[in-house]
Structure 1
Amino acid sequence: MKKILTALALSFSALIATSMTFADPPHNDRGYQNRGNGNAYGHDKKKFRDFNQDEDMMQEQRREREERGVRRLQQHRWQPGYIMPQHYRGDGYKVAYKDKNLPKPGKNQQWYKINNDYILVDSDSNSILRILGF
């Protein structure tokens, strides 16, 4: 009986050991496999470097797109009746009419300073009502 139990225990441990050698290595959140030959994060150094280069290239493309958009908005010619672009509706562009000697805005109106122009905008419809260039 003792020999049977010993044989079963050995065969079971051998089965577990062989099944572990065929298992896939664990994956991390970036999709790379941890093969133990990389850096402390478990990445293959070449793949980790490629990922950083891809990330840098994506950030550079995003920055260039944003700069093109800002240049396009700076070249924009404002006219009454146009809708104020959402990019300019933030508090950073709002100005106090008293500080700049502007006419008092009506109800639901706000003055904005954009590209050295003062623009009166209807807050409800975001349409441009008046433009003062200085």
Structure 2
Amino acid sequence: MNKLVSALVFTLGTAVTASAIAAPAYEHRYDDRYHAEHHDHDWKKEDGRWNDNRYKRINPSRDWRVGQTLPRGYDSSRYAVNYRDAKRLHKPARNQQWYKINGDYVLVNERNNRILHIIS
């Protein structure tokens, strides 16, 4: 009886292993819904290389307009500047702050984060 059970277990184990080895490789397919939901960045092929547009350099004087909301990543103190440090900046009014972003100065209303003025 013991030999019969051992032989049965060996046969089943061999069959499972053989079927796992012979199984076709899993093919990963992207349908448009999956891609749109989980990959919100754009990839473009330029000069034979894939570039991710999430990390492109922002040019505020070209990409932003007065009245728009300042993007969330740029309202940090690392971009904030004192108006006295640059000759071209006027004194900001109450609840306003100057930010220097990639060489451009942006005046922002601190209450609603709206762009008030852009100097390139």
**TM superposition score normalised by structure 1:** 0.49
Specify the SS of the correspondent of 1:64. Answer: strand
Q: Gaps (5+ residues) in structure 1?
A: 1-7, 26-32, 36-46, 48-60
1:94 aligns with 2:83: no
Paired residue total: 92
1:1-134 equivalent positions in 2, closer than 5 A: 8-24=1-17, 61=43, 64-66=51-53, 70=56, 73-74=58-59, 76=62, 78-101=64-87, 102-133=89-120
Structure 1 residues 79 and 9, CA, compared in 2 at 3 Å: closer, same or farther?
closer
Specify the SS of the correspondent of 2:92. Answer: coil
Structure with more helix by fraction = 1
Cα displacement (A) at 1:128: 1.2
Structure-1 separation of matches of 2:17 and 2:80: 58
Structure 1 residues 88 and 13, CA, compared in 2 at 3 Å: closer, same or farther?
same
Cα displacement (A) at 1:24: 4.5
Q: Which has the larger radius of gyration?
A: 1
Cα displacement (A) at 1:11: 0.3
Specify the SS of the correspondent of 2:51. Answer: helix
Q: Gaps (5+ residues) in structure 2?
A: 26-42, 45-49
Runs of 4+ in 1 over 6 A off after TM superposition: none
CA RMSD of aligned residues (A): 3.3
Percent identity for Structure 1 against Structure 2: 36
**TM superposition score normalised by structure 2:** 0.53
Structure-2 separation of matches of 1:83 and 1:126: 5
Structure with more strand by fraction = 2
The AA in structure 2 aligned to 1:93 is: Y
The AA in structure 2 aligned to 1:109 is: Q
Cα displacement (A) at 1:98: 3.6
